[in-house]
Amino acid sequence: MTWFPAFLWVSSSVAAPLMGVDWVPFSRGDLEQVEEGRTSGTGVGEFDGVLVPSLRFHGGWEGDRWAVLGGLAVARSTSTTWVGTDYTQIHVGALRPSADLRYHLLRPTPTGAFPWVEGGLYGVIPSARNVSGAYTDEEQVTADEGSAVLRKTVGAVGVEIGPGFSWRFTPSLSVGASYHFILYRGQSLTQDTLSVSTWIWSEAAFILEARFPHSEP
């Protein structure tokens, strides 16, 4: 709730809409994730490469000293098989909303560079389902339990904070870079065993942003 007043302020007439993309280069760490089998196995987890690609989009509002930014990513896989009049449908997916608050350490000028710090939260909201007209009641219960395991495996929450800078070529277009320290909490469930994992790492990104100032009446 502490961000709500800032959100109202930057969303007012004194703020300008902002859209941008972050590019995080593919690293050796990404290769090790795949080679060592650290992915979720579902294709839609945080480290699987589909939900969080190298090129990411964000948008929001930017004021004189504050900016409120958000992002949304989605990944979903659905498979439907028909055998006669019976069908089996299996799906697994994830929704990844994020919200960040950026503070300009120096007041931005129409052109030139200025530094900022940024912090935010994100979550991975899972979905999974396995239904079939051919399942018995017991088989459907087993399928539901398997879907619950997948949801536990995909779901996660994270926090990120770090510095960055923007270099405005024009009042409407800038390039820059960010460096975030990320805390990630995930989990996995196998039968009756729940394992909780915590990751901490740093991540640098190149940024391209466009601003859309309010037109004068």
Q: Which of 36, 14, 50 is nearest to 213 (CA)?
A: 14
pLDDT value at 38 more than 80: no
The span from the CA of 156 to the CA of 141, in Å, is: 25
pLDDT at 33: 62
4-211: CATH number: 2.40.160
In the chain, what is the straight-line distance between the N-terminal and C-terminal CA atoms, in Å? 34
Report pTM.
0.84
% of the chain surpassing 70 pLDDT = 84
- Please determine, for residue 72, whether its predicted confidence score (pLDDT) is greater than 80: yes
- 139 against 15, higher pLDDT: 139
Q: Under a CB-based contact definition with an 8 Å cutoff, are residues 68 and 56 in contact?
A: no
pLDDT for the residue numbered 30: 60
Q: Which of 100-109, 132-141, 143-152, 189-198 is predicted least confidently?
A: 189-198
Query: If you write DSSP's letter for every residue of 51-101 in order, what string do you get?
Result: SS-SEEEEEEEE-SSEEEEEEEEEEEEEEEEEETTEEEEEEEEEEEEEEEE
